[in-house]
Structure 1
């Protein structure tokens, strides 16, 4: 049996090292690439076509959600497993809509990682038990988060807060250590997703939904 080839993308070096150490204890698993941002993950995924891409959500530059959307354009059969510390419903829903096969919270143990990998490789979908329970409770209660319809990524929400606080594109780029072009890209996506045409509209939305005071 050939080894299962994995791509690992997370902007935190220690997190990548810890996940890689766990993966290396699993039989027939091989990490073929490690990436610190979404753009590099996208490039390596296109070059290597791994069996599974393990992606963080909140990465500099291209977010995990935007990365998986683009991966799906050239590799619809590649398995994508999110490894994230974020358990908010709107983020999970955005990841699922973007095409991930599983969503695993970073407090997982080795047995759960092995189960998640086995499930997605066999064509199934995997959600961490905590996420499953939260979704069940929210559906039963009829609760719907204010941002659920827009399904903002953590990076988009972060940029929306900064824009609504009056920060310029250059200031946001400097604060988040990303390029001004990346900020403009996220702003354009936010306007389209929120149905607004300018900064004033973004600011009104942020204030109406309690993102800024």
Structure 2
């Protein structure tokens, strides 16, 4: 049986080591490289031409989303599996649309990681059960699929940009010449529209969905 070659791309060394240990116990999978940096990862994948890349969405100064088209261009035979700590269906959908074959979260059990690799190698698309469950619950409850940055108003986009730059509600209000209370209302509406719990989740979401924002 042919050994499936894998390169692991994640900015946390501990996570990369965890993946390497996991795959070391599998007879038909071999890790041929690992990287925690965007440019280094692209160069490594281009050189090694692996069967599979396990690609974290969060990378230093870049997004794994940006890496997908580059990997497809430089290593067309490589199957990309997106990995993220976030379980927003919109991110999974965007990753697949860009050309990834599978998407799993860091909460996914090991068996599901192997399933994603197997399906990707067969040329099939695979979405982890955690994302599928969220989509199913949204369908049953009548909720629409999670919205993206493009669904925010121009004023809300201004507020998001200033939040991302570290400004407080008071500072944003002063900059936009509106009251702090109005800014708080905007913040509430933004989180509600994007189905996010707090500011930290908002900043991570913006980085992943639109790194150039």
1:105 corresponds to which residue? 105
Shift of 1:18: 0.8
1:90 corresponds to which residue? 90
1:162 corresponds to which residue? 164
- Please give the secondary structure, in 1, of the residue aligned with 2:5: strand
The whole-number CA distance in structure 2 between the counterparts of 1:127 and 1:34 is 23
The whole-number CA distance in structure 2 between the counterparts of 1:149 and 1:136 is 24
Size of the aligned set, in residue pairs, is 169
The whole-number CA distance in structure 2 between the counterparts of 1:85 and 1:35 is 18
Q: 1:109 to 1:144 in 2, by over 3 A?
A: closer
The whole-number CA distance in structure 2 between the counterparts of 1:61 and 1:42 is 14
Q: 1:38 to 1:161 in 2, by over 3 A?
A: farther
The 5 Å alignment of 1:1-213 reads 1-140=1-140, 141-147=142-148, 149=150, 161-163=163-165, 165=167, 209-210=190-191
Verify the 8 A CA contact 2:92 2:127 in the aligned structure 1: no
Structure 1 portions without partners, runs of 5+: 151-157, 167-199
Structure 2 portions without partners, runs of 5+: 152-159, 169-175, 177-182, 192-198, 203-213
Q: Deviations over 1:147-196 (max 9, x none)?
A: 2657xxxxxxx977323739xxxxxxxxxxxxxxxxxxxxxxxxxxxxxx
- Please give the secondary structure, in 1, of the residue aligned with 2:32: strand
The whole-number CA distance in structure 1 between the counterparts of 2:30 and 2:39 is 21
The whole-number CA distance in structure 1 between the counterparts of 2:139 and 2:69 is 26
CA RMSD of aligned residues (A): 2.8
| Larger-Rg structure | 2
Q: TM-score, normalised by structure 1?
A: 0.69
Q: Deviations over 1:31-85 (max 9, x none)?
A: 1111012222111111111000001111112211111121122333310011221
Shift of 1:107: 2.1
Deviates more, 1:105-114 or 1:116-125: 105-114
- Please give the secondary structure, in 2, of the residue aligned with 1:7: strand
The whole-number CA distance in structure 2 between the counterparts of 1:46 and 1:160 is 37
Shift of 1:137: 2.9
